[in-house]
Copies of this chain bind each other. A is one copy, B any other.
């Protein structure tokens, strides 16, 4: 048992060694393991359950807003990928290539899909004949592979990752913009309402758009270590893909028109952001909205009180179950309460109910919050309401802490020295007027691993691109040239 106790605890510190700490939380809380091949992970039951909840939530919203799920082949012939060269100069995808099938060399290499525009677009062209077929909204939940040689970081950086990719076609530019903002809003909601992670919405700078896109919009979350996570993106593809793949339709006058397309995706990076944002040196911390187990009931007994305590704990667990909470009674004989407390803390159970002989006698239950260990004694009567309230409070604590971190870490700067100094000292976002020239980003990037992660927008959510927020001053924070945009610099994952 001493071995297991040692194994159980997190040994690294979030503030001192965030990378090592993160890897330890992921593994010890049973979320994922490293696969034998570098760049790949094995997603364990507790990790996959989190992904399933994101899927379920987002998929419901997608379906309610007119999206149909489909499944396209995981392989894309090289010649199909090549067609993207018409759209994107210097397109050179880093992908895994299948070159042999059985014992034979393939005549044409097949790419394991890095994203599916090039295989989906030709079918969208087939299925889009009349204006009545539009908008066409398709989505698939699948895994994709990008052969990038970076250090593996579960959920953040893996060669294979799980995601959803949406692909839509529209008759008008306005309809496409509406789509882009609808999906971005749904992503924002997933982060804010399900993961308790506040995000900022904006667009990527022109030079950092998705290849072939007219505009890439993004939601960005700030991690406690001061780095930004690009959490999900929604692209307006203009007519470039439609032109390259002949996505046309007959309008009401039977005239042929070219469609507008969009694509949008959220990957399991969302899990990375979730874990990194809330967890601590005791292990995983989860908001009750996504926690597979929301409440754990831990009975504390001596031999002579065991029967009474267990009976009380069982009845109370049954009540909570019936009320619809995801609750677990930990009545294992072979573990003592201390061990159980640690284990459930490690695994990120938001609310613990301790039940000892005193609680039984007084008709009460002791509530303990994760992560701050706040202890409150509540009456057995009205327990269901009390649990509801406490779970809400725990969600708010987590959300508020993350929102405070975000709020405190957006700083203004108006010279290269100030930008570098601020990021170097505090991390977080540095907001500055920008002339729009990529060279200014390069100038910062050369000195410190930070880039323009986002440009905030006015009037998001309509049927247009919206305007980039105008700066308070009109000189670029890097080069001093005239500037009419605002840029957010940050280090990022």
Residues of chain A having any CB pair with chain B under 8 Å:
33, 35-37, 40-45, 48-49, 51-52, 68-75, 77, 80, 94-103, 109-110, 112, 119, 122-123, 126, 132, 138, 142-143, 145, 147-149, 159-160, 162, 334
A35 to B110, CA, bound (A): 13
- The chain B residue with its CB closest to the CB of A69 is B48
Q: Shortest beta-carbon distance, A431 to chain B, in Å?
A: 36
Q: Shortest beta-carbon distance, A197 to chain B, in Å?
A: 22
Q: Shortest beta-carbon distance, A95 to chain B, in Å?
A: 7
Q: Shortest beta-carbon distance, A32 to chain B, in Å?
A: 9
Query: How many identical chains are in the complex?
Result: 2
Interchain CB contact under 8 A, A42 and B97: no
Interchain CB contact under 8 A, B36 and A138: no
Interchain CB contact under 8 A, A41 and B99: no
Residue A70 contacts which of B48, B70, B97 (CB distance < 8 angstroms)?
B48
Q: Which residues of B contact A98 (CB under 8 A)?
A: 96-99, 112
The 10 closest A-B pairs by CB, nearest first: A45-B68, A97-B100, A43-B71, A101-B147, A40-B73, A102-B147, A94-B102, A99-B99, A96-B98, A35-B73
Interchain CB contact under 8 A, B160 and A74: yes
Q: Which residues of B contact A102 (CB under 8 A)?
A: 94-95, 147-149
Q: Shortest beta-carbon distance, A158 to chain B, in Å?
A: 9
Q: Shortest beta-carbon distance, A254 to chain B, in Å?
A: 12
Interchain CB contact under 8 A, A77 and B37: yes
A223 to B54, CA, bound (A): 39
Q: Which residues of B contact A94 (CB under 8 A)?
A: 101-103
- The chain B residue with its CB closest to the CB of A100 is B97
Known contacts A45-B68, A98-B112; 20 further A-B pairs (Cβ under 8 A): A33-B123, A35-B119, A36-B77, A37-B73, A37-B77, A37-B110, A42-B72, A43-B70, A45-B69, A51-B71, A52-B69, A71-B162, A95-B101, A96-B98, A96-B101, A97-B100, A98-B98, A102-B149, A112-B112, A142-B143
Q: Shortest beta-carbon distance, A256 to chain B, in Å?
A: 16
Q: Shortest beta-carbon distance, A113 to chain B, in Å?
A: 11
21 inter-chain pairs at a CB distance below 8 angstroms, sorted by A residue, are A33-B123, A35-B72, A36-B77, A36-B80, A36-B119, A37-B73, A37-B110, A41-B73, A42-B71, A45-B68, A48-B68, A49-B68, A52-B69, A71-B143, A74-B145, A94-B101, A94-B103, A95-B101, A97-B100, A102-B148, A142-B143
Interchain CB contact under 8 A, B42 and A123: yes
A132 to B147, CA, bound (A): 39
Interchain CB contact under 8 A, A70 and B45: yes
Q: Which residues of B contact A75 (CB under 8 A)?
A: 37, 40, 96, 160
- The chain B residue with its CB closest to the CB of A146 is B102
A43 to B140, CA, bound (A): 10
